[in-house]
Chains A and B, each alone.
Chain A
Amino acid sequence: MVITGKPARQRLLPYLLVFPTVLFVTVFTVYPTLRAVVNSLYRQRLNIAKYRTPAFVGLENYIQLFNDPEFLTVLTNTFIYVLGVVPLCVATAFVFAELVNKKMRGIGFVRLALFHPSILPLVSAATIWMFLFTPDYGLFNSALRLFGYTGPENWTANPDLALMSVMIVAVWKNTGFFMIFYLAGLQNLPQSVYEAAKLEGAGPIRTAVSITLPLLKRTSLFVSTIAFISAFQAVDHVFVLTGGGPSNKSTILLFYLWQERFEKLNVGQSSAITVILIIILLVFTISNFVVSERKEVDYE
C-alpha cells in the first residue's frame, strides 16, 4: 500500500501515537521475555561460586525440570488448581449475576457484599482466611460443622486439604469480580426475548440455559480467559496460607518459580520455569482466540 498526497507530518502521526505503547511493551514485556528465554539456556546459580558466571547448557534446565518429580508434582498441583478454580469461579459468577440482576430494595447491598472480596488485597484476604480456617473455633469450620461436617479441620496443614484451602480463597476472592462482567452482560440483553420466552411458558432454568447463556457466550469467553490467566498469576495467598506446604502439597507454579529464584538463587532454572509459564499462557490465549473467532462466525 502506498500512501501519496499526504504531508509527511500526517503520515508520521500514527507512529507517534503508538510509540509510547510500543516502547512500554518493548521494555517491560518483549525484553524481559527474551531475556528469560536466553537465561533459561544457561546454568547460573548465584549461591554456588563455580556456577556464578552463566555457562551455556542448551536445554539442560528444561531436561532437569521435567525429570524432577518435585516439578511434576508442582505442575500437577497447578493444573488441579487452575482447572478447579476457573470453572467454579465462572459458574458461580454467572449464578450470582442472575441472582442479583433484579430491581428490589437492598440489592445494591447484596451486590456490594458479593463484590467486596475483589477489592481486598489478596494478602489481607488470605490473612483473614487464615483465621477462618483455624481448627476448633475458626468460623469456616464452625459453619461446616453446622452442616454436619466431621472431617479434619486443619485445612492449611492437612496434605489432602491444603491445596483446596488455597483454591477456596481464590474462588471467594475472584467470583465477585467476574460477576460484574456477567451483570453488565445481562443488563445489555434485549428484554423482548425474555418476554417471548415467558409467553412460551419457559421457566427460569430453561430461560437461563437456552437464552441467557448462549447470548452471553462472548462474556463467558472473556471471563474464562481472564479467570484462567489470573489463576496462574495469583500467588500471594499461597505465601500467607500454606507456604506451599505441607510437603509441597500446595505449591503452584508461580510460587515454585519464586522459590527457585529467590530462595535457591537458581537463575537458569527459574528462567526456564518462566518460559514454561509464558508458553502455557500463550497456548491457552491463542487457542482461546482461535476458538472465539470461529464461534463468532456461528453466531452472525
Chain B
Amino acid sequence: MKHGMTVSVLLLGLIFVPNLIAGGQQEAVAGEEVSIEVYYPVAVDAPIAKILDGYIAEFEESNPGITVKPVFSGGYGDVKTAVQTTIEGGGTPPALAVLLATDLYDLLNAGYIAPFDPFLDSMKGEKAYLNDFYDSFLENSRYEGQIWSLPFQRSAVVMYYNADLFRDQGIAKPDSWEALAVAARDLTKKEGDKIVRWGIEWPSDWPYWLFQPLAIGNGQNIVGDSDTDVFFDDPKVIEAIEYYISLSEKYEAMPSGVQASWGAAPSNFASGNTAMIVHSTGSLTGILNQTDFQVGVMPIPASTKGEFASVPGGGNLYLMDGVSDAEKAAAFRFAQFLTEPERVADFSIQTGYIATRKSAYKTDVMKAYTGKIPQALETRDALEYAGKELSIQNLGEVRNIFHNYIQAAFNGEMSAREAMQTAQVKAEKALEDFK
C-alpha cells in the first residue's frame, strides 16, 4: 500500500511541490540587480553545460547587475515537464528556456510563453537581426504576426555516406529515389546468407522526423502551412511510405520493419556495417571522430531526379511569461548575446549544431573550421531543401497518432494506405477543437 501511494506521490506531488519551493523566490525590481534562470536540455554528445557556463561568465562580466543561473533539466521532454510543473504549481518559471521549436502551440495555448516582439521592436536593426537567421529555422517561431522564439540549437536531417565505398565501386552520389535505392542495393554486402553490410539504415523508432524528407521529396509534406492541417493520407505521402518499405522488401538494402537504431546507427556507419545512414546533422562531430574513411554529407534525394529534401529540428530560446518585466528584459539581453554571430559560430563548432545565422559563417573562426571540415557547410546547405517540421496544434497527440500508424505500416501490420487513412481520421478528430 505504501508503495502504491508512492506512485501517486511521485506523480501528483510533482504538481504542487514546486509551489512550496518557488514560493520563497522574490520578484525582481527594475533598476536593481536582476537574477534570471535558464532551463536547458542536453540533447547531443557535447559538453553543453560547460559551454553555457563559459558564455554566462562572459555575459555577466559585460552586463553587471544581471546574474544568470543555468538549470540543466535533462532532455527536451524533461525541460518541458519542469516548466509545466513549476507554472501549474503556482511557482515562478525560469525567464528563459530552451525547448523544441515545434512546441510553440502547446506552450502558447497553455499561456507559458511571451512574445519577443516588444523587445525586438525596441532594438536597433531589428529587421537585419531577424533576416540574418536562416528562414527554415525561424519558420517555427512565427505565429499570428509575432515572434515567439529565437533559433538556438538547431539541426536538420541529412544523409551520411561512406564516400570511399562510393568511389571504390564507382557509384555516383544518388540524386533520386531510384538512384538511392540502386546504390543502397549495390552497396549491400552478403556473406552466404548473412548480411555483413547494409546499403542504408533509416531509423524509425521516433519516425516522423527522419521520414519527413521522403514526403517532402515526393512533393507533399505531412503538415500544411496552417496550424491545423495534416496530409497523412495524401497519395504522395503514402507513396513515400511505400518507397521506404521497398528499400528493405524490394531492394533488400535496409533492415526490414521498424528500425530502433537511432542510437546505434552512427556507430554502425562508422564501423562500416552500413554504407549510408539518415540521421541528424547533430551527429556530424561524433561520426567524424569515429571514422577513418571519407564521410560525405548530403540532403535526402527526392523522387524527381536532381531534387533533394530535408527538414529542420532542434531547440529554440523561449521567453517565459509570468516573470517580471525586468527579468524578461534581462533574459532577452542574454538571448541576444547568445545569438551574436561569433557566439553562434563558436557554439556550432563546439557542438556540431548548424549555426543559426548567416553571418556566423562569415566569421573568421567559422571560416577556419569549415576549411578543415567542409561537411559542416554541407549540413548548412541541406537547409536550402528543408520543408516545415511537423509542428501543429495538439502536437503530442497528433504526433503519437502518426507514429503509431506509420510504424504499423513499416512493420507490415497494415498497408500504407490503410494506416495513413486511419491516422488522418484520428488526427482530424484530435484537431477538431482548434478549427
Contact = CB atoms under 8 A, between A and B. Distances in A.
B431 to A, nearest CB: 10
Q: What's the dominant secondary structure at chain A's contact region?
A: helix
A169 interface: no
A28 B9 CA distance: 5
Given A32-B13, A154-B260, A157-B257, A247 B4 contact: no
A285 B7 CA distance: 14
A131 B261 CA distance: 10
A36 B260 contact: no
Interface string B87-111: 0100000000000000001100111
Interface of B: 1, 3-9, 11-13, 15-16, 77, 80-81, 84, 88, 105-106, 109-111, 195, 204-206, 255, 257-261, 263-264, 273, 393-394, 396-397, 400, 403-405, 407-408, 410-411, 413, 433-434
B408 A274 contact: no
Q: What's the dominant secondary structure at chain B's contact region?
A: helix
Given A35-B15, A130-B264, A282-B1, 17 more contacts: A29-B8, A32-B9, A35-B16, A36-B8, A157-B257, A157-B259, A233-B6, A246-B411, A247-B403, A247-B404, A247-B405, A247-B408, A247-B411, A262-B80, A263-B77, A263-B396, A265-B396
B83 to A, nearest CB: 11
Contacts of A259: 396, 400
Contact of B11 (A159, A248, A274): A274
Given A156-B205, A278-B7, A48 B15 contact: no
Interface residues of A, number: 51
Interface stretch (A49-57, A186-194, A201-209, A212-220): A49-57
A265 B81 contact: no
B260 A233 contact: no
A226 B6 CA distance: 12
A281 interface: yes
Contacts of B413: 159, 247
Contact of B81 (A35, A247, A248, A262): A262
Contacts of B434: 48
A75 interface: no
A46 interface: yes
B215 to A, nearest CB: 19
B258 A154 contact: yes
| 6 tightest Cβ-Cβ pairs between the two chains A and B | A32-B12, A263-B396, A281-B4, A157-B260, A157-B258, A246-B407
